[in-house]
């Protein structure tokens, strides 16, 4: 390889590294600005920052996760579900995405879809007591009180304090 080719290759590599670093910093800055707005309760403004981050990098998990949370806080559950679904597409083992999407489905009374997400969480993280709690609500919504009580009892055995109250209030 000639010195001219080596020099050109070095230039291209340097340009790539500089561009990648600036690209990464810009995304991180947008997400940080969005998170700051979330902390202030300015969810719509936060979403605009997360939108910018996703436009820069459509595979940036943190932007989707934070945007989904902001949508949930605004009770925009369909939009949150869309973001959680994208997270799952990008990382099929992302337990929190399944758990959160299932919760959003429960809010929309789409209990079968919620149940499927909580089942997936239990497969991926069998000791997740919140998944059992939430799956109990899905089962109750589907008219399966016996199944709901069984899930809440499992959650209680795992140490979930909320499950104790749920069991009492639902006469299990």
Q: Is the pLDDT of residue 172 over 50?
A: yes
Q: Is the pLDDT of residue 16 over 80?
A: no
pTM: 0.82
Residue 33: per-residue pLDDT: 95
Mean pLDDT, rounded, for 3-32: 51
Taking only the tens place, the pLDDT of each residue in 38-93 is 999 999 999 999 999 999 999 999 999 999 999 999 999 999 999 999 999 999 99
Structure token pair of residue 60: 């940036």
- Could you name the CATH architecture of 1-92? Alpha Horseshoe (1.25)
Taking only the tens place, the pLDDT of each residue in 80-131 is 999 999 999 999 999 999 999 999 999 999 999 999 999 999 999 999 999 9
Residue 15: per-residue pLDDT: 32
Residue 116: per-residue pLDDT: 98
Q: Is the pLDDT of residue 30 over 50?
A: yes
| The domain made up of 93-172 is a member of CATH 1.25.40.10 | yes
Q: Look at the block and give the residue holding tokens 């995405």.
A: 97
Q: Is the pLDDT of residue 13 over 60?
A: no
Residue 17: per-residue pLDDT: 33
Residue 151: per-residue pLDDT: 97
Higher pLDDT, 58 or 22: 58
CATH 1.25.40.10 in the chain: give the residue spans. 1-92, 93-172
Higher pLDDT, 167 or 20: 167
């Amino acid at each position: 390889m000639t010195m001219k080719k080596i020099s050109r290759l070095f230039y291209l590599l340097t340009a790539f590294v500089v561009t990648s670093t600036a690209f990464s910093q810009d995304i991180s800055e947008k997400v940080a600005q969005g998170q700051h707005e979330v902390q202030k309760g300015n969810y719509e403004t936060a979403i605009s920052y997360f939108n910018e981050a996703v436009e820069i990098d459509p595979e940036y998990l943190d932007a989707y996760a934070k945007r989904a949370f902001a949508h949930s806080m605004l009770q925009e559950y369909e939009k949150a579900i869309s973001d959680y679904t994208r997270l799952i597409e990008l990382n099929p083992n992302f337990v929190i995405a399944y758990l959160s999407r299932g919760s959003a489905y429960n809010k929309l009374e789409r209990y079968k879809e919620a149940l499927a997400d909580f089942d997936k969480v239990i497969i991926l993280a069998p000791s997740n007591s919140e998944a059992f709690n939430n799956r109990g609500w899905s089962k109750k919504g589907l008219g399966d009180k016996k199944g709901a009580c069984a899930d809440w009892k499992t959650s209680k055995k795992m140490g979930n304090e909320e499950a104790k109250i749920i069991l009492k209030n639902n006469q299990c």
